[in-house]
């Protein structure tokens, strides 16, 4: 079992020397196919970032209410892990959840409609930004009680094992959630029963406004797997090339060994916790954010692709413009979409009956 604690800090601009993976593609000569994949990844980074800008715009313009948490800065984690999982591997996640369903095949329009509370939304407007789902694409939400969904993540794997299916459950949660007790009930049972689940900590190093060093007795959260005899490690989450390698290796391990895994993916959110996080100076400096942006996943990947001649500078501008245009259209279309009808308020509480009507 590896204890590579500080091996892959998000601030590090070097490759992780201690990684179990073969050297990153950036060290060797990538194949044409790899480069094509990475260009697609870069396109996705722009799309997700533009989508999130539009979702923030919706919030500012009063078209989205409640809580809104954007994924800006963390794109490489979802792109890498969802990119490496198989199509029918189920995913469950917390509330910063706009990127996952889109990467799994849900249209940005449906996600934006849900954020705006429209009938065309993934949950017909009854879930909202934090509660996106797609049964068809194996996305199990979209959950707002911090840490609360992790036992369900193990439950997805329980069903996989019960039926003898060749699938791996992927459970995303944050560094804040890593302090919730239920996570450890889930880990214990996952290990006890050999469940094929990846507990994936997206460690963006601040739980809402409380920094890692103020909320975790040992900030190396992956080490908490030790007590359950689960393989664990900390890896980088900003360089999508490395993320893909680690994801492929770990998913393969879980599939082959039918064992759970705890992976702490070091990342950083460039945006505030939520749309209502108005004063980030309460928990971090501008300098820290600027430093982190030196490892912006878009920057790292575009530099790599430029270096290998897979794209030209003008392509970057082109991709950005395309993403801007696409997501601006998504915004316009969603903001003109119909709202749910009043009678729909009673629907989908139960499968076969409605609650009593009226106040």
Partner 1 sequence: MAELAYREALRRALIEEMDRDENVFLMGEDIGRYQGTFRVTAGLFEKYGARRVVDTPISEPGIVGISTGAALMGLRPVVEMMTMSFSILALDQIINHAAKVRYMSGGQFSVPLVIRGPGGAANQLSAQHSHSMEGWYAHVPGLKVVAPSTPSDAYGMLKTAIRDDNPVIFTENPGLYGIKGEVDDDEFLVPFGKAVVRREGTDLSLVAYSRMVHVCLEAAERLDKEDGVSVEVVDVRSLVPMDTDTIFASVRKTHRAVVVYEDWKSGGFGAEICTRIQESCFDDLDAPVGRVGGLNVPMPYARNLELQCIPNADDVVEKSRQTLQGVI
159 interacts with partner 1 by CB under 8 A: yes
Instruction: Report how far residue 279's alpha carbon sits from residue 294's, in angstroms, rounded to the nearest whole number.
Output: 22
Q: Which residues of 263-293 are buried (b: 16+ CB within 10 A; e: fewer)?
A: bbbbbbbbbbbbbeeeebeebbeeebeeebe
349 interacts with partner 1 by CB under 8 A: yes
155 interacts with partner 1 by CB under 8 A: yes
Interaction with partner 1 in 56-95: which residues (CB under 8 A)?
90, 92
**What's the token pair of residue 215?**
């909320």
Q: Which is nearer to partner 1, 129 or 203 (CB)?
A: 129
Q: Which is nearer to partner 1, 188 or 210 (CB)?
A: 188
Contact assessment for residue 137 and residue 170, using Cβ atoms and an 8 Å cutoff: no
- Least separation in angstroms between CB 34 and partner 1: 33
Instruction: Report how far residue 160's alpha carbon sits from residue 195's, in angstroms, rounded to the nearest whole number.
Output: 8
Q: Which is nearer to partner 1, 42 or 262 (CB)?
A: 262
Q: Can you say whether the dihedral through the CA atoms of 105, 118, 47, 51 is positive or negative?
A: negative
131 interacts with partner 1 by CB under 8 A: yes
- Least separation in angstroms between CB 296 and partner 1: 33
**What's the token pair of residue 111?**
């996600």
Burial status of residue 184 (CB atoms within 10 A of its CB: 0-12, 13-18, 19 or more): middle
133 interacts with partner 1 by CB under 8 A: yes
355 interacts with partner 1 by CB under 8 A: yes
111 interacts with partner 1 by CB under 8 A: no
Q: Which is nearer to partner 1, 147 or 297 (CB)?
A: 147
Torsion angles phi and psi, residue 353, rounded to 5: -160, 165
Contact assessment for residue 202 and residue 267, using Cβ atoms and an 8 Å cutoff: yes
Q: Which is nearer to partner 1, 178 or 310 (CB)?
A: 178
Binding site for partner 1 (CB under 8 A): 90, 92, 121-127, 131, 133-136, 140-143, 145, 148-160, 162, 181-182, 185-186, 188-189, 192-193, 347-353, 355
């Amino acid at each position: 079992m590896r204890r590579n604690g500080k091996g892959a800090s998000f601030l590090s601009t070097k490759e992780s020397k201690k990684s179990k993976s073969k050297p990153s593609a950036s060290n060797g000569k990538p194949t044409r196919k790899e480069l094509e994949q990475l260009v697609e990844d870069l396109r996705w980074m722009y799309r997700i970032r533009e989508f999130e800008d539009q979702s923030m715009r919706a919030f500012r313009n009063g078209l989205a209410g409640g809580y809104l948490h954007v994924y800006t800065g963390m794109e490489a984690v979802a792109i890498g892990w969802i990119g490496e999982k198989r199509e029918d591997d189920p995913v469950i996640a917390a509330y910063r959840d706009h990127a996952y369903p889109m990467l799994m095949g849900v249209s940005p329009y449906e996600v934006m409609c849900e954020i705006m509370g429209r009938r065309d939304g993934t949950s017909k407007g009854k879930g909202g930004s934090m509660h996106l789902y797609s049964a068809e694409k194996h996305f199990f939400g979209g959950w707002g009680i911090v840490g609360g969904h992790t036992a369900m993540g193990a439950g997805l794997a329980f069903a996989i094992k019960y039926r003898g299916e060749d699938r791996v459950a992927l459970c995303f949660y944050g560094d804040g959630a890593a302090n919730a007790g239920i996570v450890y009930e889930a880990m214990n049972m996952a290990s006890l029963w050999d469940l094929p689940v990846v507990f994936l900590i997206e460690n963006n190093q601040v739980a809402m406004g409380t920094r890692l060093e103020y909320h975790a007795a040992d900030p190396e959260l992956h080490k908490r797997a030790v007590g359950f005899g689960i393989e664990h490690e900390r890896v980088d989450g900003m360089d999508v090339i490395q993320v893909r390698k680690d994801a492929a290796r770990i998913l393969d391990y879980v599939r082959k060994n039918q064992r759970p895994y705890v992976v702490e993916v070091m990342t950083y959110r460039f945006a505030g916790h939520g749309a209502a996080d108005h004063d980030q100076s309460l928990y971090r400096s501008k300098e820290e954010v600027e430093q982190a942006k030196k490892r912006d996943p878009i920057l790292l990947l575009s530099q790599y692709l430029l270096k290998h001649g897979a794209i030209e500078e003008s392509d970057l501008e082109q991709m950005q413009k395309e993403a801007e245009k696409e997501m601006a259209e998504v915004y316009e279309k969603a903001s003109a979409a119909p709202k749910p009808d009043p009678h729909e308020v009673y629907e989908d509480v139960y499968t076969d009956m409605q609650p009593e009507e009226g106040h």
